[in-house]
Structure 1
Amino acid sequence: MRRTARLLAGTALAVAAAAPAHAVDTGRLDVYPSTVTPGGQVTVNTAACGDPGAATGDAGAVGAGVFTLAPTAHEGEAIGQFQVPPSAQPGTYEILAKCAEGDRQVAGDLVVALTAAQQVQPRGSVKTGVGGGLDRDPVQTAAGVAALAVAAAGGTWLLHRRARGDGI
């Protein structure tokens, strides 16, 4: 039992020593910022392509088209930029990068959101088929108010007579 434990511990130490000190996840495309407004600038980078690190990006889903990811000073990393079109609609879009060497492709998500100033505020009236509460004609408005006043006065008078016991 001790022999098995020592063997497993020794194997674990050997694997840990052989692993690089800074492991990099090479299977994704990082998008900065991950949420942007239409017209904003986006930077993407990846370590998926290794050396030399060049790649071709595709932001066609959001309407920005193709862009280039160039190698950086960091070993095996590539970085690129594109601009989100001002006409982009809110939503989540997949951004792709295809490595220049090999057939590796990675993806990342970009969220396009509108600011309060960009949101469209409703204007006009709602077509319900019932009509508005107040018409533009002041004569009709006055006639409606007078009819309501007469009905209220008549109802009050009838309730008052009934409470006194006079009947109708």
Structure 2
Amino acid sequence: MRKARLLTTAALAVASAGLLSPPAAAAVLAAGGGLEIHPATVMPGSTVTVSTSACGGGGTASGDASAVGAGTFTLAPSTDEDHEQNATGQFKVPPSAQPGTYEIVAKCSGSGADGKQVAGDLSVTITSTAAAREQQQVAPKGHVKTGVGGALGPDPVQTAAGVAALAVAAAGGTWLLHRRARGDRI
């Protein structure tokens, strides 16, 4: 009895914490025809298409994108043969929109689903995924300015002087090591 009460309490705690809500919400949206947002991730200034089958055939809806700053818009019955049960509309994300996730809402009207409300999430980002991929694939070009000169610098006189200095140092080091090996004192 006590184990059953503990399991029930744990299940209620998990449910109230919202850990079960994403799959449950997905099931409700799938059953009731949620709000489809295309593309789901956009940059400010982009046009977004919203559609839903929740309003039934011939149904319309009033959309609300004021969360992202776009105001209201209308969803009308789709003329597309593949989506004849959908109400579809568009809105433009304002150029001043800040990055984040925003809830877009549509309320059905003029059909058997009058007053039914559906929602979907729109993500606004400041970089497009295509631009991000392009930036990652660009190969570096040019010289790296590290403060250390290369072996073949722009001045051949300085290069020759550097090579000569290295040769003198190597010869002097070899001569000192040879004297030390013979036991001569410096």
Establish whether residue 110 from structure 1 lines up as the match of residue 125 from structure 2: no
* Residue 93 (structure 2) pairs with residue 81 (structure 1): no
Measured after TM superposition, the shift of residue 25 of structure 1 is 4.7
Alignment-mate amino acid for residue 28 of structure 1: G
Deviation at 1:53, TM superposition (A): 2.0
Q: Which runs of 5+ in 1 are unaligned?
A: 1-23, 118-168
Secondary structure at 1:45's aligned position in 2?
strand
- Larger proportion of helix: 2
Equivalent residue in structure 1 for 2:107, among 98, 106, 115: 98
- Structure 1 stretches (4+) deviating beyond 2 angstroms? 24-27, 73-76
Aligned residues: 94
| Aligned residues of 1:54 and 1:70 also touching (Cα < 8 A) | yes
* TM-score using structure 1 length: 0.52
Aligned to 1:153: none
2:172 match: none
The letter of the residue matching 1:104 is: K
**Is 1:45 matched up with 2:51?**
yes
User: Is residue 50–residue 75 contact of structure 1 (8 Å, CA) maintained in 2?
Assistant: no
Once residues 83 and 35 of structure 1 are traced to their aligned partners in structure 2, the CA distance between those partners, rounded to angstroms, is: 13
What RMSD over aligned residues (CA atoms) do the two structures have, in Å?
1.8
Which runs of 5 or more residues in structure 2 are unaligned?
1-29, 132-186
Cα distance between partner residues in 2 of 1:25 and 1:86: 35
Q: Structure 1, residues 37-90: CA drift from partner, whole Å, max 9, x if none?
A: 001110000000002221110000000000000101333211000000000000
TM-score, normalization by structure 2? 0.48
Letter paired with 1:47: S
* Helix, strand or coil at the partner of 1:96: strand
In the TM superposition, what are the counterparts of 1:27-42 in structure 2 within 5 Å? 27-42=33-48
- Separation in structure 2 between the aligned mates of residue 89 and residue 104 of structure 1, nearest angstrom: 29
1:161 counterpart residue number: none
Question: How far apart, CA to CA, are the structure 1 residues paired with 2:51 and 2:122?
Answer: 13
CA distance in 2, matches of 1:83, 1:95: 12
Do the aligned residues in 2 keep the contact of 1:25 with 1:47 (CA within 8 Å)?
Answer: no
Aligned equivalents of 1:75 and 1:90: distance in 2?
34
